[in-house]
Structure 1
Amino acid sequence: MDLQDTRAVVTGGSRGIGEAICLELASRGVEIAIADIDEDGMADTVDRIETETDSTAEWYYVDLADPDLVDERTDEILDDLGGVEILVNNSGIMGPTAPLEDVTVEEWDQMMHVNLRGQFLMCRAMLPTMKDAGFGRIVNIASITGKAPLYNRAPYATSKMGVIGLTRTLADEVGEDGINVNAICPGSVEGPRIQRVFEKQAEARDVPYEQVEEEAKAESPIGQLVQPEDVAGVVAFLCTSDADRITGQDLNVSAGRVMY
């Protein structure tokens, strides 16, 4: 399927993976609606889209921890775009890096509200218009941490495993409506976010930052971290007709760190 003139909602599109996804889809002619809480970052992404591509974009302030605001903003997006063919659930927070017994209930709940419930809310909001059209593509960004342990990261790992479960079950539920649902499980994606994770891990283990980073690279057969554009390219592929018979899958983009 040519993506020209299709419409996409991308959560967390203000920076990092989300920004790369927005730019990749826009380069293929997709009209973009960015949903995030980082207004300056969203404005910068819109500027890049309109400068570097022939597509258009708008941004919308959406706090995924607020169900009422999610419903209000998604109604606004659908009114503005006239429909949506693609939903990319990319928003997520890092949460605590700490032993489980030191994690507060508030930290646990915030992680689940944003990383997991937020994806549920966005899917719920966008499914009716996709069902009416008899077509849709939903791509949920999970993590290899939902498959493999990561030191002192139990809340994050739990939320990302939940995303995989949501993806598989929803794919089974809406397949007859012409909607494909898949997840992408990135490995360590180079950028400020993973740097903060490495810093926290280094502090918790009382080892140098460089040791944590090198250990992460060493877990890859090719000795590399993932680039945001690697994830963005797979998102775009899953939205095309080349992926018509791919649904309910969790695809690793991990430089080989996880192979199942």
Structure 2
Amino acid sequence: MPRVLITAGGAGIGRAMGHAFDAAGYDVWVSDLNAQALSQVPSHWRTSHVDVINEDQMAALFEDISNDWGGLDVLCANAGVAGPTAAVEDIQLEEWQACVSVNLDGAFLAVKYGVPMMKAAKSGAIVMTSSTAGQYGYPNRAPYCAAKWAVIGLAKTLAMELGTFDVRCNVICPGSVIGDRMEGVLQREAQAKGMTRDQVYQGYASGTSLGRFVEASEVADMAVFLSGPASGAISGQVIAVDGHTVNPDPKAD
């Protein structure tokens, strides 16, 4: 069976990816910083309690994968945090660094330790989770946007670097995904802009041609597609799963 590791796989998009890969016949291994979330995933998934920005823990995770599985076919570098919602002059350096670290350094460490197994096997697929914030500028989201743009640059570089080893790397840019993280963004943005939560929600939804938020399962289905043989000639691409964002600045009507 093909083998997939999903970072931040205990909840949200990561857990949805786990279910989608499981249904597609993959062995699933998820890591997460949230031990409680890991306790709630299916019992036949392998789990590791790992902080993606702790290099020792990440190195140990991939050593465990190598020892137990003997290799890795798919790596989903999915970990991320929303970071602060504030005007750039009101963001503290520590807040900036914390957001960039999880979103970018976490992705870097995942590929740093996952790529050698794929290069040795001369096959593999990497799927990195960015965001539509990595394609457009969003007001009051400077650290998150900067990190998610950088994830795309990393992925495009990896596609060039790893192509001769038959290892592909692509990026998914989710839009506004239904779930706890986006709910937190809505609440913080409403407070920062002096709006209601529902006004901010409507602003995001009306900024897409489909007029709705995205389901985590829809992002997960794209991850499975980008990892399988049907996408064998697709690498270095940035694919939005966002209901077609037409106005990235979420203002209420």
Q: Give 1:151 shift.
A: 2.2
67, 89, 103: which one pairs with 1:101? 89
The whole-number CA distance in structure 2 between the counterparts of 1:69 and 1:17 is: 22
The whole-number CA distance in structure 1 between the counterparts of 2:82 and 2:39 is: 23
The whole-number CA distance in structure 2 between the counterparts of 1:255 and 1:45 is: 28
TM-score (norm 1): 0.93
- Residues 1:87 and 2:83 aligned together: no
Residue of structure 1 in register with 2:21 after alignment: 25
39, 45, 63: which one pairs with 2:35? 39
- Summarize the alignment of residues 38-187 of structure 1 with structure 2, pairs less than 5 Å apart: 38-47=34-43, 56-187=44-175
Comparing 173-182 with 66-75, greater Cα deviation is found at: 66-75
Amino acid aligned to 1:119: A
Check whether the contact 1:151–1:201 (CA below 8 A) recurs between aligned residues.
no
Report the count of equivalent residues.
Answer: 248
238, 241, 247: which one pairs with 1:250? 238
Amino acid aligned to 1:7: R
| Unpaired stretches in structure 1, ≥5 consecutive residues | 48-55
Comparing 70-79 with 154-163, greater Cα deviation is found at: 70-79
The whole-number CA distance in structure 2 between the counterparts of 1:27 and 1:71 is: 28
The whole-number CA distance in structure 1 between the counterparts of 2:246 and 2:125 is: 25
Check whether the contact 1:174–1:180 (CA below 8 A) recurs between aligned residues.
yes
The whole-number CA distance in structure 2 between the counterparts of 1:140 and 1:173 is: 15
- How big is each residue's C-alpha offset from its partner over 1:201-251, in whole Å with a ceiling of 9 and x where there is no partner? 100000111100011110111111000011000000011111011000010
TM-score (norm 2): 0.95
The whole-number CA distance in structure 1 between the counterparts of 2:246 and 2:141 is: 17
- Partner SS for 2:46: strand
Residue of structure 2 in register with 1:238 after alignment: 226
The whole-number CA distance in structure 1 between the counterparts of 2:133 and 2:36 is: 29
- Summarize the alignment of residues 197-216 of structure 1 with structure 2, pairs less than 5 Å apart: 197-216=185-204
Residue of structure 1 in register with 2:6 after alignment: 10
The whole-number CA distance in structure 2 between the counterparts of 1:22 and 1:174 is: 25
- Partner SS for 1:44: coil
Residue of structure 2 in register with 1:51 after alignment: none
226, 229, 233: which one pairs with 2:214? 226
Q: Identity rate of aligned residues, in percent?
A: 34
- Partner SS for 1:93: coil
The whole-number CA distance in structure 1 between the counterparts of 2:66 and 2:41 is: 20
- Partner SS for 1:234: helix
| Unpaired stretches in structure 2, ≥5 consecutive residues | 248-253
- How big is each residue's C-alpha offset from its partner over 1:167-188, in whole Å with a ceiling of 9 and x where there is no partner? 1011001000010000000000
Residues 146, 258 of structure 1: alpha-carbon distance in 2 compared, 3 angstrom cutoff: farther
Amino acid aligned to 1:17: I
Q: Give 1:74 shift.
A: 1.6
How large is the Cα RMSD of the aligned pairs? 1.3
- Partner SS for 2:65: helix
